[in-house]
A = this chain, B = another copy of it.
Amino acid sequence: VFHLGRCWSVDPLLSSSYLLQDSRGRPKEIPHNEKLLSLKYESLDYDNIENQLFLEEERRMSFGGFRCLEISRWVVCGLIGFLTGLVACCIDIVVEEMAGLKYKVIKENIVKSTEAGGLSISLILWAVLNCAFVMVGAIMVACFEPIAGGSGIPQIKCYLNGVKIPRVVRLKTLVVKVLGVMCSVVGGLAVGKEGPMIHSGAVIAAGVSQGRSTSLKRDFKMFEYFRRDTEKRDFVSAGAAAGVSAAFGAPVGGVLFSLEEGASFWNQMLTWRIFFASMISTFTLNFFLSIYHHKPGDLSNPGLINFGRFESEIMSYNLYEIPLFIAMGALGGFLGALFNVLNYWLTIFRIRYVHRPFLQVIEAMLVAAVTVAVSFTMIYFSTDCQPLGPEHSEEYPLQLFCADGEYNSMAKIFFNTPERSVRSLFHSQPGTYNPLTLGLFTLTYFLLACWTYGLSVSAGVFIPSLLIGAAWGRLCGIFSFSAAQLGGIVRMTLSLTVIMVEATGNVTYGLPIMLVLMTAKIVGDYFQEGLYDIHIKLQSVPFLHWEAPGTSHWLTAREVMSSPVTCLNRIEKVGTIVDILSDTSTNHNGFPVVVKVSHNNEPAKLCGLILRSQLIVLLKHKVFVELARSRLNQRKLQLKDFRDAYPRFPPIQSIHVSQDERECMMDLTEFMNPTPYTVPLDTSLPRVFKLFRALGLRHLVVADDENRVVGLVTRKDLARYHLGKHGLEELHLAQT
């Protein structure tokens, strides 16, 4: 999840006053009852920036040009799918090989020690190996790229929602993420490699669609048209979908995930492209894995996680089981909420005390060591021996103190990668595990998984949740409890149903899964939010939900907007612009352009809107109208200049403007958006909200009945209003 040591966060539970941290990680107290919204996150602009340059380009483009653009969108989506599948395949093979090697070495040692005595050496060997892997993973995340920690799903949710999380779609993040997840899975933590695939897919999409890498300083001069927030967002949703698709072999589930989490405006063509990317991703992974498994061309087993085949006969169910499913869902929702509450407290503890990279690495290693110690103890004291069957060829059965031809049943779940444990729990013969084994396993794994999520390592929570649920379910003899536990923790209903159905490969259980997930969601929501939402909220991200809070009709744009607004004249003095941009106390990103600013704060007539990033490019290229000369002298700026600077526009401090230049003028007419959306002062908050959400806006100008600028509504103004336990609450803004 988010790197929680680096920003402001809120703690309503652990102390009487809210706990905050400043940018250096020092704790800071603020008065009780104040909730915060961080101002450090910039917004993305998912509305097309339509200025004269853009419109001219669009008008020049022929019918064939548009068709060409459409085809290249499909090509990019195909590439995204292919690369995501390849990365998933790579992770899978490396994890399989390394984990296989590790378990083999330890097993040999254990076998030797069981006979000769001195099992503590094996324990130490196991612990050292795991800690080494986890240390590498944790150092990479904590020291090089904190944003690559966790599953990355909350970050992608925020990105698709329109919040710019710094460095979230960079190449470096991808590298750290991929290597990190390998380390943490091989390191034996209670984590999955599925969640991080979604983040990886998104980074791949953001990279491929831009046709260049800023980190590597390579520009392939391709796909330049796609260098803006709105196009990039579409590709990132395709990448996230491709990630889900590769992780679970669930292409339709991937599309639904992207839509459930991200898209605001549903567009049919876009959906099909996302679907295409998902399809290609599953195909690619499936194809390469089939070669790796020596069954080249056998495409029937897609996805990183594979639940194996469920026979329809076993899966049929009856009407009287429905109350059972509902009860299961309720229990799953309750346990999920418990997991989330524990993790919430833990996260706050981490924000408070574990914010230095050094401590984070130590904590990760501690968790790895404890995981090994607990596993070892459980295995050591377990007396559950089972006869060895032919189905164990791919696993690492430990005989330990069992009779010959038998193996330790506890070791079958603990001494294995989590994916294999899940499969084993689903498919092993009845009687493979005795209830005590399962009960102990469930309890310890629940606590371990809860402790693990939020560490500074790349890791997903899907597989651990499924594993806990599968163990519970096995205990009661019911398959679909795994879904209940997962649903109770992450709370995605529709997409999760489809993912589970696609992953099990059997539709028969679709209806019970739905029922279970829906109950789990309703029950879980009663106690606590979903895990991802908790982490988003702890970050004070200005996240916009689907609708305005129910009871907010009495609020109007007048109350919500920021006012007075810093406006610019259509032809403005360079010095004024530089001063406004350099003003760190306001740090505005969008400026209404007006006909004439009067000096007594009287509002002036709106004629456009210009963004900070555009002004920066103009200043950098010194597009000034010198006062003495005619306009002809002005350098003609192309749309390309803006696209080249996207998305890492230089800060204003890096641009040098001489004293002479400060006296020049800048003509903004060509570069501003001449038709920004406006609302009247009396527009109700739900109406403003709908406009914002449906169009993906970043700035909305509030105008009076003379079309004069009286205010500006931004994402943060809307995200401030929030439905609490007792009705509408207003969050305070915190500048960091």
Contact = CB atoms under 8 A, between A and B. Distances in A.
Interface of A: 48, 50, 55, 58-59, 61-63, 66-67, 70, 251-252, 255, 259-260, 263-269, 271-272, 275-276, 279, 282-283, 287, 290, 296-300, 302, 309, 312, 315-320, 493-494, 497-498, 501-502, 504-508, 510-511, 514-515, 518, 546-547, 550-551, 553-554, 605-607, 674-675, 677-680, 682-684, 686-687, 690-691, 693-695, 703, 705-707, 726-727
Contacts of A510: 251-252, 502
Chain B CB within 10 A, most for which of A297, A493, A510, A674: A510
A320 B297 contact: yes
Contact of A502 (B279, B507, B605): B507
Which 9 pairs show the lowest CB-CB distances between chains A and B?
A297-B319, A58-B553, A66-B550, A694-B694, A675-B683, A300-B316, A505-B507, A266-B266, A707-B707
Contacts of A683: 675
23 contacts: A50-B684, A50-B687, A55-B554, A55-B684, A62-B551, A66-B550, A251-B514, A252-B252, A259-B259, A263-B266, A265-B266, A271-B494, A272-B494, A279-B511, A279-B514, A282-B511, A297-B318, A504-B507, A505-B507, A506-B506, A674-B680, A675-B687, A691-B695
B272 A554 contact: no
A298 B511 CA distance: 13
A275 B296 CA distance: 39
Contacts of A312: 300, 309, 505
B59 A554 contact: yes
B705 A607 contact: yes
A511 B302 contact: yes
Given A48-B687, A687-B50, A493 B551 contact: no
A498 B705 CA distance: 50
A551 B66 contact: yes
A82 to B, nearest CB: 15
Contact of A675 (B50, B493, B682): B682
Given A252-B252, A299-B317, A606-B705, 4 more contacts: A58-B553, A66-B550, A502-B507, A677-B691
Nearest to A287: B319
Contacts of A320: 297
A551 B506 CA distance: 45
Given A300-B508, A506-B506, A706-B706, A547 B267 contact: yes
Contact of A705 (B296, B605, B680, B690): B605
A262 to B, nearest CB: 9
A705 B594 CA distance: 11
A721 to B, nearest CB: 14
Contacts of A726: 63
Contact of A674 (B319, B502, B682): B682
Contacts of A252: 252, 494, 497-498, 501, 510
Contacts of A58: 553-554
Given A271-B260, A287-B319, A553-B58, A251 B511 contact: yes
A299 to B, nearest CB: 6
Contacts of A550: 63, 66-67, 70
Contacts of A497: 252
Nearest to A547: B267
B269 A547 contact: yes
B511 A299 contact: yes
A364 to B, nearest CB: 34
A693 B50 CA distance: 18
Contacts of A48: 686-687
A290 B210 CA distance: 55
Contacts of A317: 299-300
A189 to B, nearest CB: 30
A728 B241 CA distance: 34
A727 B606 CA distance: 35
A249 to B, nearest CB: 9
A268 B726 CA distance: 23
Contact of A505 (B264, B282, B506, B551): B506
A290 to B, nearest CB: 8
Contacts of A287: 319
A70 B547 CA distance: 13
Contact of A260 (B268, B276, B511): B268
A50 B312 CA distance: 53
Given A493-B275, A553-B59, A318 B302 contact: no
A317 B299 CA distance: 7
Nearest to A70: B550
Contacts of A607: 705
A694 B674 CA distance: 21
A551 B275 CA distance: 26
A507 B506 contact: yes
Nearest to A728: B63
A679 B706 CA distance: 14
A259 B495 CA distance: 14
